[in-house]
Structure formats: C-alpha cells, structure tokens
C-alpha cells in the first residue's frame, strides 16, 4: 500500500516532493494537534488533524487506514518498517463529513450523508428494506432467492390463466386482472432491480435503484 502512496504523498523528511497530504503519525500528542499538521488554521476546531478532500468532477470513495508501521530514518533509507515490538491501544474519535464542516447548517440533509445517499432524504422519507442492501442479491443465496421468486411468479401466472379459462363472471375476471397485475409487479420488481444494479457504480447505485423502485410503485398504483 505504501509503495503507491509514497509516489504522491508528502512526508517530511523522506518525501518532500510529494503533492498529496495523506499521512498522519499517531498517536498524536495529548491535547495538541498531530505533528504532521503544519498549518493549524486549516484544522476543524477541537480536532487534532483534518483531511480536506475535494473531487470536483468525479466522486470517489476515500478510506482511512491505521497501519502499525513507521519510517526507518536511522540510515536515511526512509523504508517502512512493521512495528511489532510495542503493544499500543489507540483511542480515536474520527468525524467523517461529506461537505464543509464550517457550513454544516447550509444543507443538513446532505452534510452527514455519503455521496450515494445525497438527495434521497429530500425525495423519500422512508427506507425501503428490499433495496437497503441491493448487493446481497448478487450473491449465490440472493440469486437463488430471485430465481425461486421468478418460479413462483410463473406458477402464479399459470394459475391466474387457468382461473380465467374456467371463470365466466365478468366482474370477477376484472378483479382477477387487477389482482394479477399488482402481484406481477411485486414479483418482478426485485429481480429487475437486482439486474439493473449490476450496471451502475456503487456511488450511483442507491439513488438509481430507489428511483426505479418508486417508478414501479407508481406504475402499479396507476394500473
């Protein structure tokens, strides 16, 4: 991991040509800022370190990793060495926020949410259990569940068709038509959403799937 980070990250005194501010040494001094924070005015008040990330054109996932290693600067080779000799328990309180903490009251519906959850709360005020973790339907148990659901749907269609053939009451047939249409939407929406979800990045998947789900709901209500 550090072989790639070393090509772009600034780390005094070994990587002074680095352009990205990625590395912090922990533990930080008690009640003081971390030693790598050379510009205290950029820190969020009350915190020992701050990472400011800005992706203007394309959103990305960012990760925070705590690794038990240190720079070996005794021979000026600046190599990373695994620290196995010390048993240290790190206490941390990291605040992850999607936006500028100084303007946290500007849009409270997006400030504490990750990018893939943006605009969801404004549009829909309830969480949909079936799509809360759409990735689970791309595992073998999920695929088997979707397949079983489709088998039941086929059986349901055959039974409705048989009922249509033996029943001549027009009002009852009209009821069965509406009943069958509603349940067909219920049967098919989950496999369709699971299939659609494979075509989108995780950053856009949640909003896309939720919007498609609401389209199915509106479609079934209008039928």
End-of-domain residue from the set 71, 96, 121: 96
Residue 118 resides in a domain = no
Domain residue limits at 10:
1-96
Name the token pair of 98. Answer: 């999607």
Residue 157 resides in a domain = yes
Together in a domain, 38 and 85: yes
Together in a domain, 78 and 160: no
Partners of 72 in the β-ladder: 79
Residue 143 resides in a domain = yes
Residue 111 resides in a domain = no
Q: What are the backbone dihedrals phi and psi of residue 94, each rounded to the nearest 5 degrees, phi first?
A: -105, 125
The pLDDT, as a whole number, for residue 190 is 79
Name the token pair of 48. Answer: 């020992």
End-of-domain residue from the set 42, 75, 96: 96
Answer yes or no: are the C-beta atoms of 34 and 26 closer than 8 Å.
Answer: yes
The distance of Cα 82 from the centroid of its chain, to the nearest Å, equals 31
Together in a domain, 14 and 88: yes
Spans in the chain with pLDDT lower than 50: 123-124, 127-130, 132
The pLDDT, as a whole number, for residue 10 is 85
The pLDDT, as a whole number, for residue 129 is 47
The pLDDT, as a whole number, for residue 155 is 93
The pLDDT, as a whole number, for residue 154 is 92
């Amino acid at each position: 991991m550090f072989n790639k980070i070393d090509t772009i990250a600034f780390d005094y005194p070994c990587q002074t040509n680095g352009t990205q501010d990625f590395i912090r040494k922990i533990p930080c001094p008690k009640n003081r800022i971390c030693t790598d924070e050379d510009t205290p005015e950029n820190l969020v008040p009350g915190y020992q370190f701050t990472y400011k990330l800005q992706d203007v054109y394309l959103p990305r996932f960012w990760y925070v990793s705590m690794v038990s290693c240190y720079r070996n600067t005794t021979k000026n080779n600046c190599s990373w060495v695994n620290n196995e000799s010390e048993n240290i328990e790190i206490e941390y309180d990291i605040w992850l926020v999607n936006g500028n903490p100084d303007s946290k009251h500007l849009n409270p519906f997006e400030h504490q949410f990750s990018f893939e959850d943006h605009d969801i709360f404004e549009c829909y005020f309830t969480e949909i259990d079936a799509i809360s973790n759409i990735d689970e339907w791309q595992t073998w148990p999920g695929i088997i569940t979707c397949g079983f659901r489709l088998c039941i749907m086929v059986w349901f269609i055959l039974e409705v068709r048989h009922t249509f053939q033996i029943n001549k009451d027009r009002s009852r047939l009209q009821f069965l038509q509406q009943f069958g249409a509603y349940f067909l939407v219920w049967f098919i929406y989950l496999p369709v959403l699971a299939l659609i979800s494979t075509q989108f990045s995780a950053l856009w998947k949640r909003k896309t799937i939720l919007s498609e789900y609401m389209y199915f709901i509106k479609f079934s209500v209008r039928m």
